[in-house]
């Protein structure tokens, strides 16, 4: 049986503290909300073979308000599978140069891993309010987009140029960007990311349509708690 973390399990953790969890732990929505409210980090620990597992936070972050670090910088969650790890490392440098706080959920090397694990880690961070935006990368970007969009509250968009990046934000209020590392050049990826981060949601007629997307999610997945 998979372990479960509930809100009551967090009562013994001091605000700003940390709880180590196994890679297959189920975290209830109330527990996620409580962790955000009390600034508790749920950190995935290594498995019994001492190998890094999906979800490990590589760079400790001191959190401030939801979606920010303690310095008030907007927090971007990023992750990639083995096909996107080089692009991830390059984009992390740009994000830090642009004064964003970055949480890297892995992977670290070229060993084959499964993209849904990493896309889900990013999507969960965004959906629970831990991160302001998220970026998930694999070879084509399609699988990460599909996986991320299974997480309630995530609106992931696969973008391949500046126009799609702008549209995904302005029209769809996308909160996760997915990229195909084998299909676009690193410089193109940098431009896409810059436009995507800088473009505000257009609101107006687009808000009604995004509300309908959220209504579909509620209809088939239940209300977000």
Residue 96 has pLDDT above 50, yes or no: yes
- Nearest Cα neighbor of 128 from 21, 18, 41, 9 is 41
Residue the block writes with tokens 């696969």: 158
Collapsing DSSP states into helix, strand and coil, what is residue 78? strand
CATH number of 65-221: 3.40.1400.10
The lowest-confidence range among 1-5, 70-74, 175-179 is 1-5
At how many degrees (to 10) do helices 85-97 and 186-198 cross? 50
Token pair, residue 146, equals 């599909």
Query: In the annotation, is 171 catalytic?
Result: yes
**143 φψ region: left (φ > 0), alpha (ψ -120 to 50), beta (else):** alpha
pLDDT for 98: 95
C-alpha 65/C-alpha 190 separation (Å) is 27
Q: Distance of alpha carbon 214 from its chain centroid, rounded?
A: 18
pLDDT digits (tens, 9 = 90+) for 127-176: 888 899 999 999 999 999 999 999 989 999 999 999 999 999 999 999 99
The lowest-confidence range among 52-61, 91-100, 174-183 is 52-61
For the chain, the domains span 1-53, 65-221
pLDDT digits (tens, 9 = 90+) for 58-87: 456 677 778 888 888 999 999 999 999 999
pLDDT for 166: 98
Residue 48 has pLDDT above 50, yes or no: no
Mean pLDDT of the chain: 85
In this prediction, residues 116-137 reach a mean pLDDT of 93
pLDDT digits (tens, 9 = 90+) for 33-42: 788 888 888 7
């Amino acid at each position: 049986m998979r372990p479960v973390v509930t809100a009551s399990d967090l009562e013994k953790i001091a605000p700003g503290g940390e709880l180590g969890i196994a890679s297959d732990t189920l975290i209830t929505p109330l527990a996620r909300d409580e962790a955000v409210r009390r600034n508790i980090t749920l950190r995935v620990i290594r498995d019994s073979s001492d190998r890094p597992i999906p979800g490990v936070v590589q760079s400790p972050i001191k959190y401030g308000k939801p979606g920010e670090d303690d310095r008030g910088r907007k927090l971007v969650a990023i992750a990639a599978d083995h096909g996107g790890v080089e692009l991830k490392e390059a984009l992390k440098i740009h994000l830090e140069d642009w004064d964003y706080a970055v949480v890297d959920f892995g992977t670290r090397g070229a060993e084959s891993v499964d993209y849904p694990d990493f896309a889900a880690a990013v999507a969960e961070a965004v959906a629970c309010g831990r991160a302001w935006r998220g970026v998930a990368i694999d070879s084509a970007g399609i699988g990460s987009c599909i996986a991320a969009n299974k997480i309630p509250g995530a609106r992931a968009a696969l973008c391949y140029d500046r126009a799609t990046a702008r549209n995904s934000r302005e029209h769809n209020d996308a909160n996760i960007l997915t990229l195909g590392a084998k299909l676009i050049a690193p410089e193109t990826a940098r431009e896409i990311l810059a436009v995507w981060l800088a473009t505000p949601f257009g609101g107006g007629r687009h808000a009604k349509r995004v509300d309908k997307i959220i209504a579909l999610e509620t209809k088939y997945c239940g209300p977000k708690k």
